[in-house]
Structure 1
Amino acid sequence: MGLHAKIWHNVAGPGYDVFINHRTVDTRHTVVRLLYDHLTHQGCKPFLDAETLKPGDRLLDTIDKAIRGCKVGVAVFSPRYCESYFCLHELSLLVGSKKRIVPIFYDVKPLQLRVEDSAILSCSQKDLKRFNLAIEEAKSIVGLPFDSSKEYIISTFCLF
């Protein structure tokens, strides 16, 4: 186990070290898979929905518990990120829980991130306000750009 992994393993205790927040259709088979594999290889315990959720899990309860128990959230912003209620819910919970957030801007620039009322039709005005505040907070955090048209070495994702 590397030094970074040992430090995070000792700090995190039970639960997850890192919560990976992402839009599945944009990122699951690319940057998110690389990130998850890299963190796991480094001895960290990341939460990734496709790897962690099991049949019978209560979706929001499990995700909310993982976010509350994690030390760091990685928000992988992508072109369709702001169209997802779940992405925005997770981000707003990370922000509201005062978690450290590391943004990765996957084929999108921070200024392009906007919550459109029409994108999330079943959302209340309260949720829309919460989601907009979370996006604005995330846009003010120094993040990592990722251009999928270029090849990257996994060390790009050294978060700790």
Structure 2
Amino acid sequence: MISRLFDFMKQSKSIQLNNKYSLDIYTNTYTYHKASSSSSTPKALCDVFINHRGTDTKKTLATLLYDNLKARNLRPFLDYKTLKPGDHIFDHINGAIYTSKVAVTVFSPNYGHSYSCLHELALIMESKKRIIPIFFDIKPSQLDVVIERVRCPDDEIQRFRWALQEARDIVGLMFDSDKGNLSEVVTSASDIIVQRLVELEAEDESV
């Protein structure tokens, strides 16, 4: 994965990372590319899993983030972009969560209404992924599980609430669609994702 990042940054100057990230990532990436070029690692389905509520962010932040990460030569997973006809939805989504290194959770006003979103979040938290939350038109304190109990057993409701509580305690990016610049938050999120991937690669190299 790091070698793909390095190759992309050598070949393209049209997409640049911000401030210190560009220097840190460029230097670290080169080092890890050299050190890991002779080693092989199990093939992952994706580098970054994007967890989001489609009705809120599918046509805006989630898609822009996916495209930005693809342009940086990464392998993001976004359900409607990645899945193909005939794929078993939960098998592919669960596999992508387990094999990814970083997860982006895009919290939005209708997030707590979605079983799929909450199920993915619980798997992300249980598998102890490095998480980058983005709070899109919602504050952390406003997050809650609002699925009807007739559709979901109590133990699963508690599991989802635990996952949301864990996510609330992680520092994330805030975005207000009435005031914020969507391009800026997408770029900032992508920069942070790349930095986290470089850090994780460094941890793997030190083991």
TM-score (norm 1): 0.90
* Alpha-carbon distance between aligned partners in 2 of 1:47 and 1:117, rounded to the nearest angstrom: 25
CA–CA separation in structure 2 for the residues paired with 1:32 and 1:20: 7
> Per the alignment, do residues 80 and 12 of structure 1 end up closer, same or farther by CA in structure 2, a change over 3 Å counting?
farther
> What number of residue pairs does the alignment pair up?
159
Quick one: distance in 2 between partners of 1:43 and 1:94?
Answer: 23
- Aligned Cα root-mean-square deviation (Å): 2.3
* Structure 1 residue 39 corresponds to structure 2 residue 69: yes
Identity of aligned residues (%): 46
Q: Distance in 2 between matches of 1:143 and 1:87?
A: 18
Q: Is the 8 A contact 1:12 1:70 kept in 2?
A: no
Partner of 2:202: none
1:156 lines up with 2:188 in the alignment? yes
Out of 139, 163, 173, the residue aligned to residue 144 of structure 1 is: 173
Cα separation, 2, equivalents of 1:38 and 1:139? 25
Give 2:111's match in structure 1, choosing from 81, 85, 91.
81
Give the structure 1 partner of residue 122 of structure 2: 92
Kindly indicate whether residue 170 of structure 2 is the aligned counterpart of residue 128 of structure 1. Answer: no
For the residues of structure 1 that align with 2:157 and 2:88, how far apart are their CA atoms? 23
Q: Contact conserved, 2:134 with 2:174, CA < 8 A, in 1?
A: yes
Mapped to 2, the partners of 1:116 and 1:155 lie a distance apart of: 31
CA distance in structure 1 between the aligned counterparts of 2:134 and 2:146, rounded to whole angstroms: 21
Give the whole-Å Cα distance in 2 for the aligned partners of 1:64 and 1:73. Answer: 12
In structure 2, C-alpha distance between the alignment counterparts of 1:21 and 1:87, rounded to whole Å: 7
1:124 and 1:67 mapped to 2: Cα distance?
Answer: 23
**CA spacing shift, 1:117–1:52, aligned 2, 3 Å:** closer
Greater per-residue helix proportion: 2
Structure 1 residue 121: Cα displacement: 3.8
Give the distance between the partners of 1:55 and 1:15, measured in 2 at CA: 17
> Structure 1 CA distance, aligned partners of 2:150 and 2:57?
23
Task: For residue 29 of structure 1, give the secondary structure of its aligned residue in structure 2.
Answer: helix
Contact 2:69 2:76 in 1 (8 A): yes
Quote the residue 1:110 is aligned against.
Answer: 140
1:67 & 1:155 partners in 2: Cα distance?
22
SS in 1 for 2:96: helix
AA aligned opposite 2:82 = T
Return structure 1 stretches of 4+ with deviation > 4 angstroms.
3-13
